[in-house]
Structure 1
Amino acid sequence: MSTARGIRRLDPLHVVDVFVYVTVLNLTAQWVPQVITESFTTSLFTAIVLKLVLEAVLWLKKAVLTRLKSASTWPRRVVSIVVLVLLLPGSKLVVLELIHLIFGDAVALGGFFLVTALIIVLMLARRGVRWLLAPRGASAPITD
């Protein structure tokens, strides 16, 4: 992440991700009555919060999977699997609660299943845009 002049402060992919998230969030708010964002500004800040939370969840998931793969005993494997099973649905509840704490009634993402669907669409859109931005001949999308 360094440049000729020094260290880059923010990877452009993160900015693109936020733009993708805000677009998906606003389209969802337009098409799904249970999803509400009162203004573009709140949807932009919601997209930033979603980006931060989803990055943290992806980092935790990767760490748990690494621990699971390197586990040498069955109790460590079981604990890693339990943590992974709790992390995936638990992260959706964290997203709902965090959005409610930060934005109150200005933003509503629906319930558990709706936010799960929204997160799946966000991740698919992110992967699709990264694939579109990948250099020609690259077989995989750009990753962090």
Structure 2
Amino acid sequence: MAEQADTRLSRVDGAVVGAVVDLFVYTVVLNLFVEYLPGVISETFTLSLLTAVLLKVVLEVVLVAKKRVVGRFRAASTRTGKVVAGVMVWAVAFGSKFLVLEAVDLVFGDRVGLGGFFSVTLLVVTLLLARAAVRLLLERAPRDG
């Protein structure tokens, strides 16, 4: 029976596993922010879990946009092209915080609040750093078998 479960687990797509791990990390980090930053509010654990799902979706979209803009920056051959692409990178990085704030407000209203620009910036940076740290830890973990 345990062998059958191990076989099914080994067939799970790595992207699915990564997304689930991201959700767990985002939920933990978000709840730590709720606990220690008065401006970050979630009425219930369920709402913080759903907020983590929303953050996962929004941040994935932002990361795709950022990757494309950085690609344009690297591909730009003129000084003007580099400047325009650089401004676009800044706009995506800066605007993403407002996108996060608006998406959370639109979906959850007053029941979830991520504070203002600075607290959401700190939250997003912490989410991405925690995600990277956990993924690195899991990649370096010894595997059985």
- Decide which of 108, 117, 121 is 1:116's aligned counterpart: 121
1:79, 1:50 → 2: CA distance?
Answer: 28
Does residue 67 of structure 1 match 2:75?
no
Aligned pairs for 1:1-144 (under 5 A) are 8=13, 11-136=16-141
Moved more, 67-76 or 46-55: 67-76
Q: Which aligned segments of 4 or more residues in structure 1 are displaced greater than 3 angstroms?
A: 6-10
Superposition TM-score, scaled by structure 2 size: 0.84
> C-alpha distance in 2, partners of 1:8/1:29?
32
Unaligned runs of 5+ in 1: 138-144
Q: CA RMSD in A?
A: 2.0
Q: Say which structure is richer in helix.
A: 2
Distance 1:133 1:72, change over 3 A: same
Cα displacement string for residues 63-109 of structure 1 (whole angstroms, at most 9, x for unaligned residues): 11111111122222221111111111110011001100100001000
Count of matched residue pairs: 133
- Identity of aligned pairs, percent? 48
Could you tell me how far apart the structure 2 residues matched to 1:53 and 1:112 are? Answer: 16
From the CA coordinates, give the structure whose radius of gyration is larger: 2
* Counterpart Cα distance in 2 of 1:133 and 1:8: 15
Gap regions ≥5 residues in structure 2: 1-7
Distance 1:42-1:136 versus aligned 2 partners, 3 A rule: closer
The higher relative CO (CA closer than 8 Å, separation ≥ 6) is in 2
For 2:66 and 2:45, how far apart are their aligned partners in 1? 31
- Identify if the C-alpha distance between structure 1 residues 7 and 13 changes in structure 2 by more than 3 Å, giving closer, same or farther: closer
